[in-house]
C-alpha cells in the first residue's frame, strides 16, 4: 500500500515507513534514546530528500521525547532551572543551525554536510559507547565496582566564572558550559534532525557532573522545546516538515517504544549498551561508505522546490 507524502512529494510504501518507525521506537524504548539519529539516516537510505528527513526527524523526536518525559515530569526528576539555562543555549543554537541549514541547501552541499556530521558523530559516540560498555563488562566479570560521580572532585569546568546555584542538582556551576552545551545540541538538532540526547546525557554526567537522577528528565525537557522550536522554524523557512511522514513515524514509534522498554528491562545494562554501540557504528559506517565509494551516478538534478 503506497501513500503520497505531500511535502516530500513522492509515494512511499506505508508499511516500510511504519516498520521503520516501529523498529526505531523499539530501540529507543529499549535503550532510552530519542531515536532521531537512527530515523534520519534510515529515511535518507529510503530516498526521502535529506532536507525533509532532517526536519521531519526533529518533529518525530518531539513525540518520542514527550512520551518519555511525562514520567519524569510527574516525579519531578528534573532540574527546571538547569533545563531552562540549557534551553536558552539550545534555542540560540537551533536558530544558528537553521541559518546554516538554509545556506548549505542553497549551495547544494546540505546532503554532504548532513552525511559527514552523521558519520563523525555516530562513529565517535558509537566507538566511545562500545569502549565503555566492554570495559564495564570486563569489570563486572572481575567483580569491581565504579562510581560514576566522585563527589568533591572538580575539573576545569568548575573553575569557570558566572556561577549559578542549581538547587535540585546540588550544584554551584558556571552557566557558560551549560549554555555552550545547549547551543551545540541546538545546532545538531536543526542540521541533523536529532534530539541530541546521545551527546547531551554523557556530557552532563561526565563533564558537568550533574547527578544521574535528574539528567534524563532535564535533557528531555531541553530536547522537547528545542525540537519543537526547530520544527516550527524548519516549517516556516524551508517548508520541509512532512506531517504525514512524521505522523506515521510517531504512531509506530510510540507503540514500538512500549515493547522496547519491556525487552530492555530484561537485558543487562552493559550488553544493552554494547548492542546499541554496534548499531550506531553500523549506521555510521553505512553512511560513510556512501561518501567514499565512487557513486554509480555522479550527476544529480535539482528542480525548483523538488529533488534537492
Partner 1 sequence: MTMRLILAVAALLAGLSTAGAQAPNEPQERLDIGVSTNEIAITSDFSGADITVFGALDSADPFLLDLGEYDIVVALVGPQRETTVWRKERVLGIWINRRSMEFEPVAASYSLSSTRPVDLITDNIVLDRYEIGTDNIRLVPTGSIGDGSNIAEFRDALRRLKRQNGLFERDPHGVDFVSSSLFRASIRIPANVPLGEHTIRAYLFKSGNFIMERDASLRVVKTGLEQFIYAMAYERSFLYGLFAVAIAMLTGWLGSVIFRKN
| Binding interface with partner 1 (CB under 8 A) | 1-4, 6-7, 9-11, 59-60, 62-68, 70-71, 108-109, 111-112, 116, 224, 228, 231-236, 239, 241, 243-244, 246-247, 250-251, 254-255, 257-258, 291-295, 297-306
Distance in Å, CB of 142 to partner 1, minimum: 39
CB 204, CB 173: distance < 8 Å: no
Q: Which is nearer to partner 1, 169 or 238 (CB)?
A: 238
Residue found by looking up cell 501513500 in the block:
3
Question: Closer CB to partner 1, residue 133 or residue 238?
Answer: 238
Smallest distance from partner 1 to CB 48, Å: 13
Distance CA 122, CA 287 (A): 10
Q: What's the min distance (Å) between Cβ of 85 and partner 1? A: 22
Shortest Cβ distance from residue 253 to partner 1 (Å)? 8
**Chain center to CA of 276:** 14
Residue 3 bridge partners (DSSP): 12
Residue among 143 and 304 whose Cβ is closer to partner 1: 304
Taking the complex as a whole, the smallest distance from the CB of residue 203 to partner 1 amounts, in Å, to 24
- When the beta carbons of 136 and 237 are compared against partner 1, the nearer one is 237
Contacts of 130 (CB under 8 A, 6+ apart): 274, 277, 278, 281
Min dist CB 128 to partner 1, Å, is 23
Residues 6 or more apart in contact with residue 140 via CB below 8 angstroms:
270
Work out how close the CB of 192 gets to partner 1 at its nearest, in angstroms, rounded to a whole number. Answer: 18
Q: What would you report as the CA-atom Rg of the chain, rounded to the nearest whole angstrom?
A: 19
Name which of 161 and 305 has its Cβ closer to partner 1: 305
- Pairwise CA distance, residues 228 & 201, whole Å: 19
Q: Which is nearer to partner 1, 11 or 155 (CB)?
A: 11
Q: What's the grid cell of residue 140?
A: 563486572
Q: Which helix (H) or strand (E) holds 3?
A: strand 2-5
CB nearer partner 1, residue 95 or residue 136: 95
Residue 13 exposure: Cα atoms within 13 Å on the Cβ side? 6
CA distance 51 to 54: 5
Q: What is the DSSP string of 220-262?
A: HHHHHHHHHHHHHHHHHHT----HHHHHHHHHHHHHHHHHHHH
Amino acid at each position: 500500500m503506497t501513500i503520497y507524502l505531500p511535502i516530500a512529494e513522492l509515494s512511499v510504501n506505508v508499511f516500510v515507513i511504519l516498520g521503520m518507525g516501529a523498529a526505531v521506537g523499539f530501540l529507543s524504548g529499549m535503550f532510552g534514546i530519542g531515536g532521531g539519529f537512527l530515523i534520519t539516516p534510515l529515511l535518507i537510505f529510503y530516498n526521502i530528500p535529506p532536507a525533509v528527513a532532517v526536519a521531519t526527524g526533529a518533529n518525530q523526536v518531539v513525540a518520542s521525547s514527550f512520551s518519555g518525559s511525562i514520567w519524569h515530569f510527574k516525579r519531578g526528576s528534573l532540574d527546571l532551572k538547569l533545563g531552562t539555562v540549557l534551553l536558552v543555549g539550545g534555542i540560540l543554537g537551533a536558530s544558528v543551525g537553521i541559518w546554516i541549514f538554509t545556506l548549505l541547501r542553497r549551495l547544494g552541499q546540505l546532503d554532504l554536510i548532513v552525511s559527514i556530521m552523521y558519520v563523525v558523530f555516530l562513529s565517535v559516540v558509537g566507538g566511545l559507547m562500545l569502549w565503555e560498555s566492554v570495559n564495564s563488562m570486563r569489570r563486572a566479570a572481575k567483580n569491581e565496582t565504579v562510581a560514576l560521580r566522585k563527589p568533591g572532585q572538580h575539573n576545569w569546568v568548575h573553575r569557570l566564572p558566572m556561577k549559578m546555584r542549581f538547587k535540585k542538582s546540588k550544584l554551584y556551576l558556571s552557566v557558560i558550559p551549560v549554555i555552550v552545551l545547549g547551543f551545540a545540541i541546538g545546532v545538531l538538532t536543526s542540521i541533523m534532525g536529532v534530539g541530541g540526547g546521545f551527546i547531551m546525557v554523557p556530557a552532563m554526567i561526565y563533564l558537568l557532573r550533574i547527578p544521574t537522577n535528574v539528567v534524563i528528565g532535564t535533557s528531555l525537557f531541553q530536547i522537547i522545546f528545542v525540537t519543537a522550536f526547530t520544527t516550527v522554524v524548519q516549517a516556516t523557512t524551508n517548508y520541509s516538515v512532512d506531517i504525514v511522514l512524521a505522523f506515521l513515524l510517531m504512531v509506530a514509534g510510540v507503540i514500538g517504544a512500549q515493547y522496547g522498554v519491556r525487552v530492555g528491562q530484561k537485558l543487562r545494562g552493559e550488553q544493552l549498551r554494547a548492542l546499541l554501540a554496534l548499531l550506531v557504528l553500523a549506521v555510521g559506517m553505512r553512511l560513510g561508505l556512501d561518501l567514499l565509494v565512487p557513486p554509480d551516478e555522479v550527476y544529480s538534478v535539482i528542480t525548483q522546490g523538488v529533488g534537492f
